[in-house]
Amino acid sequence: MDHNKLALPVGTTLDRFIMRKQEDFPYATGELSQLLRDIALAAKIVNREINRSGLIDIAGAYGSQNVQGEDQQKLDVIANIRFIRALRNGGEVCTIISEEDDEMIQTGNNQGKYVVAIDPLDGSSNIDVNVSIGTIFSIYRRVSPTGREGTAADCQQPGTHQVAAGYVIYGSSTMLVYTTGNGVNGFTYEHSLGEFFLSHPDISTPKTGAIYSINEGSSDSFSPGVAAFVKHCKDQKFSARYIGSLVADFHRNLLKGGIYIYPSTAKSPEGKLRLMYECNPLAFIVEQAGGKSSNGSQRTMEIEPKSPHERCPVFIGSKELVEQAEAFLAQEKQARAAENKEALTKEAPLAKKAVAK
């Protein structure tokens, strides 16, 4: 009998994987590795809180609003505290920007080399109905000198400057997916051992797909280009899948192929999602997996942020689908330019008559 079959290997733990990959960061001496471990630790604690939310009074509204004007859930506040505490205690981060805080959070670790942008609990309004939710994070190297507090310049870097990004999805299983610019890897949490194990190595998203994810409740305020692309998806018999939890929608499309869209609308002319801690980190991940992300005309990670909580439209997912959406928006732009030119041509003779009189 093969004795090895009695005790099969459980796989590669997140800690061991990070240690093996530390050579990918020639400028670091273990700080980024430790930072990723700190995030994983906080994710385990938040996972525990979520799993018992139906048993103790930590679900439901907290009774206040965050900087975005959105009603905070109790677990929003709990997750924010857990991640900030882990990052502060870890010592590698000088400054944090969070969806739940208006101002930059100074950790007191002025020697820290990194800045973290984080949405501690995305989709938290779904907690009460047991729908998948998540955490999204982005890591940058600070640009200001060490030895002092982080600055606005540290917290407003374009996505191309990210050194790592990831998300945690709390669902039927809990997964941590991240990239450091050398591919994308996913780790599933094993509750009994309290460890994340490599379960999805070298994630590659399909070049195209048959899923589109958009809130069609806002369809009456879609631009003509967005409306035309959605119609195109329907004509192609695509499946509409929209959970209302960004991490869950993105994760499904990353693995199966598809496109997630949150465009400009009359209610949210700048888009609804936040550039620094939602769009940029997911754009980094999807590009590393072979996909694409843009605001409809510009690569998401090349947008120059003007504020920590800046919003932007997003078209993200399989490369071919994002490019198709961009083509529909380009046609809309061309049509609008032609209409404006025609209107100016008609107005010119009238203007000349008015001057003559």
Q: Which residue has the higher pLDDT, 311 or 345?
A: 311
- pLDDT per residue as tens digits for the range 208-240: 999 999 999 999 999 999 999 999 999 999 999
User: Can you give the pTM of this predicted structure?
Assistant: 0.90
**How would residue 3 be classed by pLDDT, with cut points 50, 70 and 90?**
low
Q: Does the annotation flag 189 for ligand binding?
A: no
**How would residue 149 be classed by pLDDT, with cut points 50, 70 and 90?**
very high
Is the pLDDT at 150 greater than 80? The verdict is: yes
Q: Does the annotation flag 357 for ligand binding?
A: no
* Per-residue pLDDT, 338: 77
Q: What is the mean pLDDT of residues 33-62?
A: 79
Q: Does the annotation flag 64 for ligand binding?
A: no
Min mean pLDDT across 59-63, 120-124, 264-268, 322-326 is at: 59-63
Is the pLDDT at 166 greater than 60? The verdict is: yes
Q: Does the annotation flag 239 for ligand binding?
A: no
* Per-residue pLDDT, 152: 95
Q: Does the annotation flag 215 for ligand binding?
A: yes
* Per-residue pLDDT, 67: 53
* Per-residue pLDDT, 336: 84
Q: What is the mean pLDDT of residues 172-201?
A: 95
Q: What average pLDDT does the chain have?
A: 89
* Per-residue pLDDT, 70: 56
Q: What is the mean pLDDT of residues 334-354?
A: 69
* Per-residue pLDDT, 161: 98
Contact 160, 301 (CB under 8 A): yes
Q: Does the annotation flag 124 for ligand binding?
A: yes
Q: Which domains does the chain have, with CATH numbers?
A: 11-200 (3.30.540.10), 211-342 (3.40.190.80)
Q: Does the annotation flag 242 for ligand binding?
A: yes
* Per-residue pLDDT, 160: 98
**How would residue 176 be classed by pLDDT, with cut points 50, 70 and 90?**
very high
Q: Does the annotation flag 92 for ligand binding?
A: no
**How would residue 6 be classed by pLDDT, with cut points 50, 70 and 90?**
low
Is the pLDDT at 29 greater than 90? The verdict is: no
Q: Does the annotation flag 297 for ligand binding?
A: no
* Per-residue pLDDT, 7: 60
* Per-residue pLDDT, 82: 96
Q: Does the annotation flag 178 for ligand binding?
A: no
Is the pLDDT at 63 greater than 50? The verdict is: no
Q: What is the mean pLDDT of residues 29-47?
A: 92
**How would residue 130 be classed by pLDDT, with cut points 50, 70 and 90?**
confident
**How would residue 168 be classed by pLDDT, with cut points 50, 70 and 90?**
very high
**How would residue 60 be classed by pLDDT, with cut points 50, 70 and 90?**
very low
Min mean pLDDT across 79-93, 125-139, 159-173, 236-250 is at: 125-139
- pLDDT per residue as tens digits for the range 240-274: 999 999 999 999 999 999 999 999 988 888 999 99
**How would residue 320 be classed by pLDDT, with cut points 50, 70 and 90?**
very high
Q: Does the annotation flag 173 for ligand binding?
A: no
